Each structure stands twice: as structure tokens, then as C-alpha cells.
Amino acid sequence: MSLLGDAVLVNWGGIVEVKELEYNEWHSKEHMPERISLPGFLRGLRAVGISGTDINHKYFMMYEAERKEVFVSKKYLERLNNPTDWTKDILSNYLSPSRTICSVISSKSIGVGGYISTIRFLGNKILKNQNVEYLKTATSIILKLNGVTGMHVLIGDSSFGQMNTQEKKIRSSQGLDDQIVSQAVIIEGLNLQSLKSAINHLKKIYFLKESKNLIINYYFCQNILTKKDLLQI
């Protein structure tokens, strides 16, 4: 799915096991509708990690918006500082939160791919041949691979939208503050093998090596919500 706006809010994390089913209910039936109803929000997505994914990285969430300023708007900040009781309960059981507002550098796709792979770059020491300008040049190559339906390149902003809101305080109750990504790549596909082939291709081209500062995960899409969907609720 080609990203709809010029900015996205990307989130990775996990939830304590006893709260997982409730987390999915909350995110689909309260949290995403609440966010997407706000001005400037365009679409929300939640994906769950494939079998064997580290519990701390089990979920990937993304909100697409018209522009970055949407994520610091008055109405959005009001929600962040006045969470519902359900939100307080769920976020207090959240594990290893990662939350970053990003600019969309490149986004190309053919429809929506059911499988998603994400590459996260942490810290500011990005090798020249691995920065977003280089990474986006691989888009046309990756999209030609069998089973790959989309690729999106994002650059994070560590100074934007990092206010100490009530939701942020609650998310850190498990002992970890929000992790911020410097840049990220999202690849969509028809199946897991296609995504693994695409990732291996990028690894060879750009000498990517997984580490604590370069994290690669695989997911399948659980739920997508747009403003039009809200009319059905």
C-alpha cells in the first residue's frame, strides 16, 4: 500500500502475555478508531510478528498522516494527555516501546501486501551507503522480486513529537523509555519467503548486518483502518 501522506508514526513493541488478546481488542476497537478520527490522520495499521519473534518486538503499528505537524496538533496532544482507563491499563503492560515520527522519503507499492518486513536503524551513526538516499535507490530493484508488492523508506526525527505526555509516562512503566529510530525501511509482500529474499538482497547491496542498532523483523498484517471505515462503526 503506497503511504497516503507525507509523514508516519511508527511503533514497535510487545505486550505481556496475559494481556495480549485484550491488547488486540483495544487497539482495533478503541485506539485506532480514536486516532483515525482526529484531523490529519489518514490510516492506521497493526501487524503481528511471525512465529518466533521476540516478544519485545512482536507488534508493529503505523499511523499515516497528511504531514508531521498532525502528530503535535492540539487535538492529538489532548488525547495523549487524557488517555482512557482502557488505554492506561493496556499501556501499563506494554513492553519495549519504540515510537518515532518519520518523514516519508519514498513509497511505492501495488496494493496491500499481507506480509511486512521492517528494518530499523537506531542511533545516529548511519554509514553513508546505508542512509535513506541510498536505500531508496533500491526500490525499483526490490519491487521486481517475485512476491514483493511494496517498499517504503522513512527518516526519523528524534526532536519532533517527543513531549513527555501521560501516555508516554504510562508506556515506560515496565522500565523502558520510548526507543527512537533514525530511519526505517518497510517492505510488503505476498509471502514470508519473498520478504526474506528481499531482505537478503538489501543486505548484500548495502552490507547490512543485524545488531542492537539494526533490527529486522517479519510480520503479517492484522488490521487496517481508514476514516471511511469509521463510518461503519
Q: How far apart are CA 47 and CA 220, in angstroms?
A: 5
Average pLDDT estimate for 83-89: 97
Average pLDDT estimate for 223-231: 92
* pLDDT at res. 45: 98
Mean pLDDT of the chain: 95
CA 117 vs. chain centroid, Å, equals 10
Share of the chain above pLDDT 70, in %: 99
Instruction: Work out the pLDDT band at 124, boundaries 50, 70, 90.
Output: confident
Cβ neighbours of residue 185 under 8 Å, at least 6 residues apart?
A: 118, 119, 135, 151, 152, 153, 154, 202
* pLDDT at res. 186: 98
134-193 pLDDT, tens digit per residue, is 999 999 999 999 999 999 999 999 888 888 999 999 998 876 889 999 999 999 999 999
Q: Determine whether 195 is exposed, middle or buried from the number of CB atoms within 10 Å of its CB (0-12, 13-18, 19+).
A: buried
* pLDDT at res. 233: 61
Classify 26 as helix, strand or coil: helix
* pLDDT at res. 81: 97
Instruction: Work out the pLDDT band at 111, boundaries 50, 70, 90.
Output: confident
* pLDDT at res. 158: 87
Domains of the chain by start residue, with CATH: 7-230 (3.30.70.100)
29-82 pLDDT, tens digit per residue, is 999 999 999 999 999 999 999 999 999 999 999 999 999 999 999 999 999 999
In DSSP notation, 47-86 reads: EEEPTT--GGG-EEEEEEESSGGGGG-HHHHHHHHS--HH
Grid coordinates of 158:
528524534
Share of the chain above pLDDT 90, in %: 88
Q: Residue 128 pLDDT > 90, yes or no? A: no
